[in-house]
Structure 1
């Protein structure tokens, strides 16, 4: 490429030169530069450039002339700063581009000859202006004002701020992020308001939803900041604005208790109240708190609450239900409001007699208060609607005079007006009692029965019923004797009814006496179990009395007493144990002849008791036949049997021996699966190993795995914990031979005391099949034994057969020598050796 010298009026072209050649001149200076090798050059063609806005004058490209062309010319959207040097073909910008003014400049470039005729072109030259972050964001208002309601939903926007940025919206230059810089005042550690960083929407925080209260603070000022570059860089432009917020009282409030008169005649539904949410457009609903079969209330879309039907206070005097507000997603907008409706009483119930016929018994000598006429009113208590007034309307018969009775007007208490009644005048009086409230009246029927006074005592037909003999095992409830007394008072009254009681000889209430109300016959029954050994004979004294008191001039005497003797006969009974089951927890390592427990039994007849054991199959226990003390007879072993039960022959009571485990088994490695790694070892492999222990879970619930203090083991292997019973074994490198390795592993069961065991884990390094398991190559050339090997195998088989026959022969000779009489002893000795 030929060198050239180009003179241009410029301010600064550092972009064209390396740092060693960078030079800045004033517009009045002329710069002549040797631009050889610094610019992209080429023939005239369509070109597309991307140029960052702003900056100093710069050269974009150098077009080369092709004869007969002698110069270039440019046209189009030059903006007065884009030009081409006609002779040299230098396309340059002599000023600053502005993306906000114009993003694309479309130009045409052509070459011409000396006569000005076009040689090539025109060609399209497009200059795309790249945006830089040169505009700060701007809020659309100088200040903002908003209103928020107390108890508004956290996160629900009540206002928003908005800012714009003139930079390219497709770049981070115009991506805005909002935040709250300051919060005045801020009485709590957390802010009461929050802002959506992307949308600028402002809402109460959780703290604000709970604490905002216009009674405490009704105005707040927030300083809201907006940053471009999505707020991610420190060089972003920032603007801020004040947001003034007024806190207003919550619209969402429960009304005071609503009072509705029962049995309303209005056309239903009837509007009884209204609720209003803090948010517009919510969906209102009602749900029942008391799970009633039906709820006679509804709510409209606008929050109006209606009663849908007349209410009855006597059916239900108060209703409690909840009103909720939800958004279109079904989420609660406000906390549920509890609505209480009180049903007010009206006098709509007449008095009701508590009994269809009230019967009152009056003894001849009785005076004053003789009974009460009971009536009720279902209207509200302690109001005029339920206040009752009693009045005697008639008396039949009216002998010996009228107005024998008087009734208290507010209580219904019935009295004798003067003299006492006499059954000879009339045994029964019928009364009509008028019961009324302020609106209704009811007649209650009353009968007064005049009964004979209790002036006759019960008299027994016998003063003594002799002896009654019963066995001590007689069932409870059995009748052992019938007794009879008579009473001369009026039958069917409390004066003539007889009750029998054991007056003497039965402190423990062993006997009970029931009376036949029709005949006054008494039945003496067994109330508690008899015991010959405790009480062989009962001398009982029985009295007969009336429920009604005797008149003052009459007293009970010996005619109302009788006696008899109950003789209890003995029944042979089995011994009785103090407990149905005897249990004991024992460590399996207790010494032989250790006293475990004492079984306590006694014979009700006082005979001596002898103890023995049955079911002691392991011969672990022995019992003292006289005292019942149970000892260990041999060594115990929980691993053979944890719960050991035997029976005591006296009453076949179970004895359970619970052996407590001690940590006497060393931990071992489980051998359920082989341990191997595929050859060659590549690194990163690991295999799972497991520890087991025959002891109770208490002693092996957590094992510790470690390598033995062996240099080769620690250089080649490492162990890491998997869980309480498993660990991972991993090779530490890949330089292993194809063979079997012994890895010394130390296991600790963490028992009390802890047991530690060193075991050798066999690990194979082997070639693996496609299923990732070891395989052994078979050498088919040597798959059959040689003649010498075959002879050796045959001789070995014959020797083994000879040894087996010799052992059988010796065993038969031994049995003949010892005989059958020693068979049991041998078995017992073998069992004893095994247990010890």
Structure 2
């Protein structure tokens, strides 16, 4: 293992500390270090606990092809993993840095680490050939004439590549190794004393090149000097150094330079040929060509600034004498950058899907951008398309961007985003490239189930079969998967609601568990709830009103008191004399309870009956000629339902003459031991009759007033902004009201009371007949249940029902009153 000088170690540590303070780690290590060589405590320097490296998925990425470094996950130490040859890695570049990217998950963090590879003196200077041959004419070349030699090269850099030259001791030549204009060491062999071919036709010299490293390394080349006898003037270029600048997009065939060398000799000794020096690499001859006759140098290959941005062309001009002489010049070609490389963007890390409740600043992806161009052509900007997305880019490190959440997300509005990340350089014209990222949004349970309507009104005919499907409620949830899996329920513990209605938990279908009886139950009002399967679950509810519609399932019932007594009618009587009245009741409601009376044709006789009052009266005058006999009046009582139901009542009327009536009275008086005169008896009966009628009339007035006050003071059940209205019979008919109890189940309570069978509907609620037809003439399908929606036009009800006003379907009132005929 190599040991560092104390001063160098302190300098490296100081440089590392300065780099860490600038936001990234910087280490340095000598090239050719053995595997396992300590580089730095990377976990400690990054502020990470060693125990967290594995749980947090610590990983290190290298941009190169080889993994020169590795991290010990047990102690957090960065060490050399494989042999590093700085010259192979960075060639002659002064700065040789290996870039490492460190990514730590949970939470996601990103670090940039640079490891500088320090040069060691591991390469000796070397010459391109084992020997160099020079031809120098005798006595012709004056003392002080210089002959450029092909210098040595050293793959190292800095002091390790600083070369010095030495020539073995001789009498004729010395070295001149001064700096050229290009600041590179050049070697010139200077003639100190003119040569004499006869004295020594060939001189063998050894040229040694030594670098400045520790320890010093050196290389040698043999110099063979041939002494010529003729052609004592070599070609001379008008410049010893040429500087040329070419754009990297210069077309093939372009003239680079036209060299011009002159020779003071004459004839064949001044004819010059041009060629590249043997020290020029083969690669250069594939890019540049030289015309041996004219000295034109042209571009024959493709220049690439990103590959090689500088060329050095050693050129020789040689005459054609028997002993050719040559001149040398150097051409420095600088390649200028053009914007010919499209910037690139790649994804280093991607965390998807993104939860829709992710806070602003959540990192979705880490992007790496690069451009091989330099200067302004290599300066790039990164942005997201299309604009207006809830994501933005944030620069993290040089050429690294983080795609983060910039605004609230809502999966129900946008389930996924296709984000186009575009990178563009600042060249002229600018170049750009893009990548597309598909970012799905994961769902959270943030939406409660919602019903299509705030409430439902359902009409169901009574006497439905058990288990009949009466309606279906439906709720929707914009979430997905289990967050949108909806179940329906009502509170099954509520009695008696649970004995009437059931809801299917999956379909939302409402079923009537038992036959409904309008005469006992007119309205069921309850709430159906919908709950999703999310965590935590969310609920919604809706109010359902089920109105039970009456069917004509009860026949009229005649009061027994109407048939029990025999009616004595004293003749003669005038036409229209009221004999008696039939009292009948119907347990149904509405048209189904609207009764009419008529006589059976066979037994009509001298009698007529009021169609709606039930009063039996004489059709024409009756006198003593009718005789003493008993008449049976058979009255048929019918309702207005469909199908129509009826009942019969028999009224017995005995016709007696005035004498028979007096005898009967006298007989009754004697049996009671009362001997009042007959006229007095009649007067007493008359007075009693008048008092009775007056009392009944007064009682009727009082009952009517009490009922009116009771209707006004009675608390009504109002659904909506409307008020309750009592609807009375019309002039053409009468209603029959039952005294049976009716029930209303609303929510969790059941209210029972003595209420009439009269139901008041708002104008926009249709009243159905038994055959499914609307009473006012508008047809409606005769299915078991109907939903009444808002916004229907008001409809007039049937005959005998007054029109009541209401603003909406919710204005449905039930009016309770005990009604008796007046």
TM-score scaled by structure 1? 0.25
The structure whose residues are more often strand, as a share, is 1
Higher relative contact order (CA 8 A, sep 6+): 2
Larger radius of gyration: 2
TM-score scaled by structure 2? 0.25
The structure whose residues are more often helix, as a share, is 2
